[in-house]
């Protein structure tokens, strides 16, 4: 799979992963409840870059947000973090799709997002 230019809008580098992870870091917002409860872990978000470079099928496929108290606030905070991961991925914009043999193709990605307050 090759592309003539980096598909991430606004980037001058060809490093796709670097820019996607920077985008997540700059745009992910922890809820106040998640901060107070120190909820951390990993969320895997799956998405498709279509032939026209748009995103589709953005969804959380797995999360490891730890074993915390099963209170309503903890469950709500985890659900908010999963929703925030989807929101941030949906903000991604691409200049171009992936190409195989010079033709644009749909490409599926699973993005692991590590969440830890520092």
**pLDDT of 69-103, one tens digit each?**
567 777 888 888 999 999 999 999 888 888 999 99
Task: Give tens-digit pLDDT for 15-25.
Answer: 677 888 889 99
**pLDDT value, residue 7:** 54
Question: Of all residues in the chain, what percent carry a pLDDT higher than 70?
Answer: 81
What are the structural domains, with CATH classification, of the chain?
A: 16-115 (3.30.1150)
Quick one: residue 102, left, alpha or beta (phi over 0 = left, psi -120 to 50 = alpha)?
left
């Amino acid at each position: 799979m090759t592309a003539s230019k980096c598909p991430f809008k606004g980037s001058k580098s060809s490093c796709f992963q670097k820019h996607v992870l920077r985008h997540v870091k700059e745009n992910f917002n922890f809820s106040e409840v998640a901060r107070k409860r120190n909820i951390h872990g990993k969320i895997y978000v799956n998405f498709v870059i279509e032939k026209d470079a748009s995103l589709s099928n953005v969804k959380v496929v797995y999360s490891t947000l730890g074993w915390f108290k099963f209170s309503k606030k903890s469950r709500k905070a985890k659900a908010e973090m999963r929703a925030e991961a989807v929101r941030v991925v949906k903000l991604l914009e691409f200049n171009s799709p992936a190409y195989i043999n010079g033709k644009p193709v749909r490409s599926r990605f699973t993005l692991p997002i590590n969440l830890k307050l520092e």
